[in-house]
Amino acid sequence: MTVQQIQLDAYLGLAFDRIPVAMIVVNPEGQITRLNQLAETTFGYQSEELIGKKVETLIPERYRHAHPSFRHGFLSAPSARPMGAGRDLSGRRKDGSEFPVEIGINPVETGEGPMILSVILDLSERKQSEQRIQSALQQKDLLLREVHHRVKNNLQVIHSLLDLQALKIRDHELVGMLRDSQNRIRSMSLIHQTLYQSHDFAQVDFDQFLTALLPRLMESYESTAGHVAIHIRAKEVKLPINEAIPCGLIVNELVSNALKHGFQQQQRGSIWVDIRQDSSDTVELSISNDGAPIPEGLDLQQSGTLGLQLVHLLTQQLHAELQVQRTLPTRFTLRFQIGMPT
Ligand SMILES: Nc1ncnc2c1ncn2[C@@H]1O[C@H](COP(=O)(O)OP(=O)(O)OP(=O)(O)O)[C@@H](O)[C@H]1O
Ligand SMILES: [Mg+2]
């Protein structure tokens, strides 16, 4: 051996000892021939206690019997690879406690013949912080669910207060105005209900929302009940709360209008609510009805009535474009992009 080789060996020996991962060298019989400082501290042994011992000493008892056959399998086709791919591996300390590990095994040729070099990562801390993050996430989920639940309850209280107030009012027009306000409140409350009932608090399942909203809206315009059918098409549409609230209010206004103004004379007919979302997150919402047309000469931009003013305001908030077809069928179409600042 040359002087340089001796220096290199000494240098590699030092690196083996100091490297901040646990390393153990095992011979083909499964005896430990060498381990570094971190392997000692990780398993809680002194080097002398382990040299010459079977590597199975460092494995929980219940896995020991299977280990020699894994070693023979590795020796018959040696190549660097992670040990026990796909399985959760555990190490066993001197005091009997167990801890999660990840192990890489490598064949090495040494002066003393072929050996297996195992590189061992103690995953205890990583697993603990994963658990901490998991439980923090669960708590955040619980809190969000609770917030949506409370917002929904508070909106329901306002709804009931307006009910009580309506009982004291004789004027039909005023009662109608209160009912319209109640419907607006309910549409917001249903968005929160849909959110706290879903698994994903960031996304409103619009199909679920419409299925809850529209029958109730029909009930509140009972004069049309029985002869107007509502058809919902909203497969796979999921909207973030920022878009879901204005969009829900727009549906509320436009379907109310269809019920109120499209079918005043007890005509039979249909209302269609379609919402589609494409792969680039563009949403197209359309509300159509085959009842009476929008009165000729009525300027929808300048109607001065609350409903359409609200629709225009919310359309702006969504950075949406609104198209109106006045008859056959009457159709309001709204197109917007998810994720625009509101
Ligand atoms: N789907 C529709 N079919 C026929 N006419 C409609 C339709 N939508 C709106 N209109 C007409 O447009 C007008 C304005 O609608 P808008 O929603 O602003 O007011 P409103 O429904 O009368 O009252 P509110 O402010 O309570 O909504 C209505 O009064 C009605 O004449
Ligand atoms: Mg209206």
pLDDT per residue as tens digits for the range 103-160: 999 999 888 889 999 999 999 999 999 999 999 999 998 898 999 999 999 999 999 9
Q: Are residues 169 and 291 in the same domain?
A: yes
Domain of 215: which CATH number?
Answer: 3.30.565.10
> Per DSSP, what are the bridge partners of residue 203?
240
Q: What percentage of the chain reaches a pLDDT higher than 90?
A: 72
* 179 close to ligand 1 (CB < 6 Angstrom): no
Residue labelled with tokens 């998991």: 134
Q: Is the distance from the beta carbon of residue 308 to the nearest atom of ligand 1 less than 6 Å?
A: yes
> Which band of pLDDT confidence, cut at 50, 70 and 90, is reported for residue 325?
very high
CA distance 140 to 4: 60
What residue numbers bound the domain in which 70 lies?
A: 3-122
Spatial contact of 71 and 77, defined as CB atoms under 8 Å apart: no
- Residue 233's pLDDT is 96
User: Do 312 and 255 belong to one domain?
Assistant: yes
* 157 and 143 both lie in a single domain: yes
* pLDDT for position 57: 96
Distance between CA atoms of residues 74 and 118, nearest Å: 12
| Ligand 1 near 289 CB (within 6 A) | yes
307 lines ligand 1 (CB under 6 A): yes
DSSP letters, 279-336, are: TT-EEEEEEEE-SSPPPTT--GGG---HHHHHHHHHHHHTT-EEEEE-SSSEEEEEEE
> What ligand is nearest to the CA atom of residue 255?
1
Q: Looking at the 3D structure of the chain, how many domains does it have?
A: 2
Mean pLDDT highest for which of 7-21, 22-36, 186-200, 297-311? 22-36
Question: Do 95 and 204 share a domain, yes or no?
Answer: no
> Does one domain contain both 224 and 148?
yes
Sign of the C-alpha dihedral, residues 183, 145, 334, 325? negative
CA of 172 to the centre of ligand 2 (A): 16
The residue whose C-alpha atom lies closest to atom 6 belonging to ligand 1 is 294
Which chain residues have CB less than 5 Å from ligand 2, an ion? 257, 307
For ligand 1, the distance from its centroid to the CA atom of residue 207, given in whole angstroms, is: 25
pLDDT at 79: 85
- In this prediction, residue 86 carries a pLDDT of 74
For 240, the token pair is 């973030």
> Would the CB of 295 count as within 6 Å of ligand 1?
yes
Residue 188 parent element (H or E): helix 172-197
Q: What is the pLDDT of residues 184-228, one digit of tens each?
A: 999 999 999 998 888 888 889 999 999 999 998 998 887 665 689
pLDDT digits (tens, 9 = 90+) for 218-251: 988 876 656 899 999 998 899 998 899 999 999 9
Q: What is the pLDDT of residues 155-180, one digit of tens each?
A: 999 999 999 999 999 999 999 999 99
CA distance linking residue 30 with residue 219, whole number of Å: 78
Same-domain status, 87 and 160: no
List of residues 6+ apart from 51 with CB closer than 8 A: 32, 33, 34, 35
Residue 123 · residue 101 · CB < 8 Å: yes
Beta-strand runs (E) in the chain: 22-26, 32-35, 81-82, 89-92, 98-110, 113-122, 203-205, 228-233, 238-240, 269-277, 282-289, 321-325, 330-337
Whole-angstrom Cα distance, residue 45 to residue 48?
8
The verdict on residue 113 lying in a domain is yes
Sign, CA torsion 147/148/149/153: positive
Closest CA to 35 of 95, 101, 115, 90: 115
Distance in angstroms (rounded) separating the CA atoms of residues 188 and 245: 6
What is the mean pLDDT of the segment spanning 283-299? Answer: 94
User: What residue's CA is closest to ligand 1, atom 8?
Assistant: 257
Higher local confidence (pLDDT), 263 or 55: 55
Give the Cα separation of 329 and 336 in Å (integer).
22
| Domain identity same for 41 and 139 | no
Q: Residue 166's pLDDT is what?
A: 93
Look at ligand 1, atom 3, and give the residue with the nearest C-alpha. 262
For residue 316, is pLDDT > 70?
A: yes
Report pLDDT digits (tens) over 57-88: 999 999 999 999 888 888 888 888 888 777 88
Which CATH number does the domain housing residue 107 bear?
3.30.450.20
- Ligand 1 atom closest to the Cα of residue 257 is 8
Lowest-confidence region among 11-25, 76-90, 285-299: 76-90
Same domain flag for 104 and 240: no
The reported pLDDT for the residue numbered 103 is 94
What lies within 8 Å, CB to CB, of 100 at 6+ separation is 88, 89, 90, 91, 122, 123, 124, 127
Q: pLDDT value at position 340?
A: 81
pLDDT of residue 9: 77
- pTM assigned to the model: 0.74
148 with 74, same domain: the answer is no
